[in-house]
Amino acid sequence: MPNLKEKLFQKIKEWRPRTTKLVKEHGKVKIDEVTIEQCVGGMRDIKSLVTDISYLDPQEGIRFRGFLIPELLQRLPKVPGGDMPYVEGLFYLLLTGDVPTKAECDEVAEEFRKRAAVPQYVWDVLRAMPRDTHPMTMFSAAVLAMQRESVFAKAYDRGINKMDYWDTTYEDALNCVAKLPEIAAYIYRMKYRGDTIIAPDPKLDFGGNFAHMMGVPKPYDDVSRLYFILHSDHESGNVSAHTGHLVSSALSDMFYALSAMLNGLAGPLHGLANQEVLRWIQGVMTKMGGKVPTEDEMKKFVNDTLDGGQVIPGFGHAVLRKTDPRYAAQREFCEKHLPNDIIFKYVDMLFKVVPPILLARGKAKNPWPNVDAQSGVIQWYYGVREYDYYTVLFGVGRALGVSANIVWDRALGYALERPKSVTTEMLENWAANPKTAVAAGA
């Protein structure tokens, strides 16, 4: 058994009694209540999911296994010759909760390498799709097509003990994640680079190999590492993570769950916002004839968008109430590597202009930029200008966190998800007489 799996099993055995004890001895302790506004409004803030892999605080932002982003980037072992950590190291941390050594990163890299070969039928599926299919649809279809590879599904058919679900789920996680960089790069080269596919280089790490297969020179390897790490996890309630968790709660395997996760990520209010930011900026640039607008001109573009009943992509968040630290980390990268880039200047100006406008309008609870406001700029600068593709990069990263969560879901025996719905009439009756709502257990 590889060290990672052994260590994970050890952690699982230690953790299981905590969950069991909570449910058995304290199962009826109340931790939240639900209002009509939350019921109609997308279940905002209702505490009803458990994960120990990451936690999102509205003020300080995401912590991965307890580490804020700057700490994380500092603590994880760095790839020799680069400034960024191993993606493999992040995956090790998410799964086990321990910061890996360089040797442990190498071990995960070797595990991925052994499992990286993509079956020919995946390429056939992608090639059968019209070339103008959205790259997220292609990515999701490729992952779904591989469902026949699921080790968990085969083991379940044979009949396995619940306590062992995590083992084959872990195998599926590694088998699937290992293939994502090549699938993602293949989609890019097939669709946007005249079908000139670049073969993987097995000597390279996860991020380095992805950059190589994209055909983009250094420091795009570091860009990819940073990108995959920042997008990996954002606790469990966001649409992509929650979708992965929900689908796998029916014991649908990793391939079904990750494909569904990608479909959720492909919405413009979620991961697709990164392409929308670039689309919006390009629209402004066209109108400005390529010049950077003055602040007053930019304010007008922002107000026109809002008056047209549209959102400003890249701003706002359902949980965060401050500038997203994932935005800040990418901004720091831009300041170092592309301080004079024209699109970076646009994004920076939006950082000044948008929040006061959103605040003055009084609707958005968080006027500050989120992860998607800054990410496209970096891709554009390094020549990946087909912005429809950006959410695929987000998807490769998010698969790391969602798959790690699903392994733990199975290890701790998290239940089938089944919240209760009510009717509008029930809500109206409870609104008229709140006491009956409580009596009905609503």
> Which residues contact ligand HAX (rule: CB under 6 A)?
238, 269-271, 273, 306, 311-318, 363-366, 370-372
Map residue 414 onto helix, strand or coil. Answer: coil
**Toward ligand HAX, which CB reaches closer, 61 or 314?**
314
Which of 167, 253, 348, 372 is catalytic? The answer is 372
The amino acid present at 188, given as its one-letter code, is Y
Q: What's the closest the beta carbon of residue 29 comes to ligand HAX, in angstroms?
A: 28
Phi, psi (degrees; rounded to nearest 5) at 62: -80, 140
**Toward ligand HAX, which CB reaches closer, 306 or 422?**
306
Terminal CA-CA length for the chain: 48
Tokens found for residue 397: 């990263």
**Toward ligand HAX, which CB reaches closer, 194 or 309?**
309
Which of 317, 324, 348, 409 is catalytic? The answer is 317
Nearest to 34 by CA among 419, 433, 432, 429: 419
**Toward ligand HAX, which CB reaches closer, 211 or 312?**
312
For the chain, helix, strand, coil in percent to 5 are 60, 5, 35
Q: What's the closest the beta carbon of residue 373 comes to ligand HAX, in angstroms?
A: 7
**Toward ligand HAX, which CB reaches closer, 81 or 362?**
362
Task: Report the run of H or E that residue 57 belongs to, with start and end.
Answer: strand 54-57
Q: Which residue has the tokens 């020179």?
A: 217
Q: What's the closest the beta carbon of residue 354 comes to ligand HAX, in angstroms?
A: 8
Q: What's the closest the beta carbon of residue 314 comes to ligand HAX, in angstroms?
A: 5
Which of 167, 270, 324, 348 is catalytic? The answer is 270
Instruction: Give residue 66's region: left, alpha or beta (phi > 0; psi -120 to 50).
Output: left
372 is catalytic: yes
Please answer whether residues 245 and 229 qualify as being in contact, where contact means their C-beta atoms are separated by less than 8 angstroms.
no
- The b-or-e profile of 19-38 (16+ CB within 10 A means b, else e) is eeeeeeeeeeeeeeeeeeee
**Toward ligand HAX, which CB reaches closer, 258 or 411?**
258
d(CA 326, CA 226): 10
The amino acid present at 24, given as its one-letter code, is K
Most distant CA atoms of the chain, gap in Å: 67
Q: What's the closest the beta carbon of residue 316 comes to ligand HAX, in angstroms?
A: 2
Lateral strand order in the sheet of 61-64: 54-57, 61-64, 67-68
The bridge status of strand 61-64 relative to strand 67-68 is antiparallel
CA angle centred on 155, ends 149 and 158, rounded to 5°:
125
317 is catalytic: yes
Q: What's the closest the beta carbon of residue 300 comes to ligand HAX, in angstroms?
A: 16
Tokens found for residue 102: 């360089």
124 is catalytic: no
Q: What's the closest the beta carbon of residue 310 comes to ligand HAX, in angstroms?
A: 7
Instruction: Give the residue closest to ligand HAX by C-beta.
Output: 316
**Toward ligand HAX, which CB reaches closer, 293 or 313?**
313
**Residues with catalytic roles:** 270, 317, 372
